[in-house]
């Protein structure tokens, strides 16, 4: 009987732990799952890029961060000094959304003709970049960019770069899901940025 009570207690703890784990952000999921892939984009303010991608079906989560620079462990106060760019990593299920579809979302939410930043955010740390991880992503990104250029949708040439992804550094906690944590500040920033 004591053994039965002990077993029930352990089972209860296991159920509670599973429930807690299940309620944690997708941020803590096992990324070894083969149905999850990661794409990396820079399109100006990472708050806005994160928000735009997170609304897409098939996107599991989006992480804001810094990449492209020379110094390790950049912070928000100094990332631009070593050439880092504000970027996001998009964790997605390729069975629900393709890399090509992510590129379409990206092109719709940036100004790909602006080499000096994005909207109100100026400087090389805000320029638009598609970061590829392999030859397949590079080919798809280049074809997508070429299709956009040929569409004559824009009067100016496409300035978005396509670069090999280096180390990606996750931004500080307060930047993650900023649009959810600070909805009023985010809306004020976004409505005054010129992005919409």
CA-wise closest residue to 72 among 86, 83, 88: 83
- This prediction has a pTM of 0.82
Give the pLDDT band of residue 113 (cuts 50, 70, 90).
Answer: very high
- Is the confidence at residue 31, as pLDDT, over 70? no
Give the pLDDT band of residue 34 (cuts 50, 70, 90).
Answer: low
d(CA 131, CA 114): 17
CA-derived radius of gyration, the chain: 20
- What percent of the chain is modeled with pLDDT above 70? 83
Cite the DSSP H helix spans in 35-182: 46-54, 99-108, 135-150, 178-181
- Is the confidence at residue 132, as pLDDT, over 90? yes
d(CA 10, CA 122): 56
Give the pLDDT band of residue 64 (cuts 50, 70, 90).
Answer: very high
For residue 134, count other CB atoms closer than 10 A to its CB.
Answer: 10
d(CA 42, CA 176): 15
Region 97-102 average pLDDT: 98
Residues labelled as active-site residues: 45
Give the pLDDT band of residue 114 (cuts 50, 70, 90).
Answer: very high
Region 124-141 average pLDDT: 98
- Is the confidence at residue 10, as pLDDT, over 50? no
Q: What is the pLDDT of residue 81?
A: 94
Give the pLDDT band of residue 2 (cuts 50, 70, 90).
Answer: low
Region 66-74 average pLDDT: 97
Q: What is the pLDDT of residue 152?
A: 86
Average model confidence (pLDDT) across the chain: 88
Q: Based on the number of CB atoms within 10 Å of its own CB, is 107 exposed (0-12), middle (13-18) or buried (19 or more)?
A: buried
Q: What is the largest CA-CA distance in the chain?
A: 80
Q: What is the pLDDT of residue 53?
A: 98
Q: For residue range 73-83, list pLDDT tens digits in order.
A: 999 999 999 99
Question: Among 27-41, 158-172, 177-191, which stretch is predicted with the lowest mean pLDDT?
Answer: 27-41
């Amino acid at each position: 009987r004591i053994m039965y009570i002990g077993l029930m207690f352990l089972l209860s703890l296991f159920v509670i732990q599973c429930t807690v784990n299940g309620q944690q952000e997708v941020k803590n999921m096992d990324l070894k799952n083969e149905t999850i892939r990661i794409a990396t984009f820079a399109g100006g303010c990472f708050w806005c890029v994160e928000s735009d991608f997170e609304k897409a079906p098939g996107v599991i989560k989006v992480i804001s961060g810094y990449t492209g620079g020379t110094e390790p462990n950049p912070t928000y106060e100094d990332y631009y000094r070593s050439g880092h760019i504000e970027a996001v990593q998009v964790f997605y299920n390729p069975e629900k959304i393709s890399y090509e579809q992510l590129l379409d979302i990206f092109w719709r939410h940036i100004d790909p003709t602006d080499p000096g930043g994005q909207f109100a955010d100026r400087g090389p740390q805000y320029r638009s970049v598609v970061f590829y991880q392999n030859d397949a992503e590079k080919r798809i990104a280049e074809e997508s960019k070429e299709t956009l250029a040929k569409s004559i949708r824009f009067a100016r040439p496409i300035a978005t770069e396509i670069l090999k992804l280096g180390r990606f550094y996750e931004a500080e906690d307060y930047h993650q899901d900023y649009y959810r944590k600070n909805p009023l500040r985010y809306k004020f920033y976004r409505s005054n940025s010129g992005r919409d």
